[in-house]
């Protein structure tokens, strides 16, 4: 496949540990692999980001939290012991940054694509280095003694993590393990959407396609 080409695979469904599937119906992980890493954000994308900044204003930010999808994430955060006003949901974090800086700041191709994907769809999106992931991704509680690379000490048993077949790659809605995220030498990227009850599957798929299309350029 040529450099910069994008895999046209449909989004895959990640696995969810049995006890989590029973406890949290609606919890899901969808992901797609693209055959490129990040890089400098092209001018058209920066313009698109600027245009999005203009469309996203203060009243929208204020009303965000009781829109269907952002509210669903806020509720899920509370269900798993997080305070969405301390550790913000992805879309609210971006909204806050927009208000603080007067616009969405362009950082890189991937970051800008994720920003657009998250703000347009309200879905929680994130990315990992595909060459550093072993097998399929899913969500499960951490086992006793398991660590998140780059973080001192073991995780408290039962911490919800996004994991591959071997190890945790990130805390659910939290930090990414050292070396598992996208960096300048990344050649292939996994784009992930985390779904919770109240977030339609269609929204997850559309969010992933939106980001994939942007990465395609």
Interface residues with other proteins (CB under 8 A)? 19-23, 25-26, 58, 62-63, 65-66, 71-72, 74-75, 77-83, 85-87, 99, 102, 141, 156, 158-160, 171-174, 197-198
Question: Alpha-carbon distance 130 to 78, whole Å?
Answer: 30
Residue with smaller CB distance to other proteins, 31 or 73: 73
CB 3 within 8 A of CB 36: yes
Q: Least distance from C-beta 113 to other proteins, angstroms?
A: 25
113 in helix, strand or coil?
helix
Q: Least distance from C-beta 60 to other proteins, angstroms?
A: 11
Q: Least distance from C-beta 196 to other proteins, angstroms?
A: 9
Residue with smaller CB distance to other proteins, 32 or 148: 148
By DSSP bridging, strand 15-16 and strand 138-141 are parallel
Residue with smaller CB distance to other proteins, 138 or 141: 141
Q: Least distance from C-beta 46 to other proteins, angstroms?
A: 21
Q: Least distance from C-beta 48 to other proteins, angstroms?
A: 21
Residue with smaller CB distance to other proteins, 8 or 78: 78
């Amino acid at each position: 496949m040529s450099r910069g080409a994008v895999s046209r695979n449909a989004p895959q469904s990640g696995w969810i540990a049995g006890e989590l599937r029973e406890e949290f119906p609606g919890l899901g992980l969808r992901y797609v692999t693209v055959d490129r890493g990040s890089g400098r954000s092209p001018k058209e994308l920066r313009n698109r980001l600027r245009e999005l900044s203009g469309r996203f204003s203060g009243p929208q930010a204020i009303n965000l939290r009781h829109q269907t999808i952002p509210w669903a994430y806020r509720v899920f955060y509370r269900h798993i012991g997080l305070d969405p006003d301390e550790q913000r949901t992805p879309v609210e974090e971006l909204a806050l940054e927009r208000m603080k800086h007067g616009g969405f700041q362009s950082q890189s191709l991937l970051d800008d694509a994720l920003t657009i994907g998250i703000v347009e769809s309200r879905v929680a999106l994130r990315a990992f280095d595909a060459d550093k992931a072993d097998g399929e991704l899913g969500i499960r509680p951490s086992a006793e003694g398991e660590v998140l690379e780059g973080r001192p000490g073991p995780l408290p048993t039962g911490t919800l993590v996004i994991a591959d077949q071997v190890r945790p790659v990130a805390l659910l809605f939290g930090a990414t393990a050292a070396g598992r995220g996208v960096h300048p030498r990344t050649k292939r990227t996994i784009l992930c959407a985390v779904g919770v009850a109240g977030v339609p599957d269609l929204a997850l798929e559309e969010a992933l396609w939106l980001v994939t299309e942007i990465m395609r350029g």
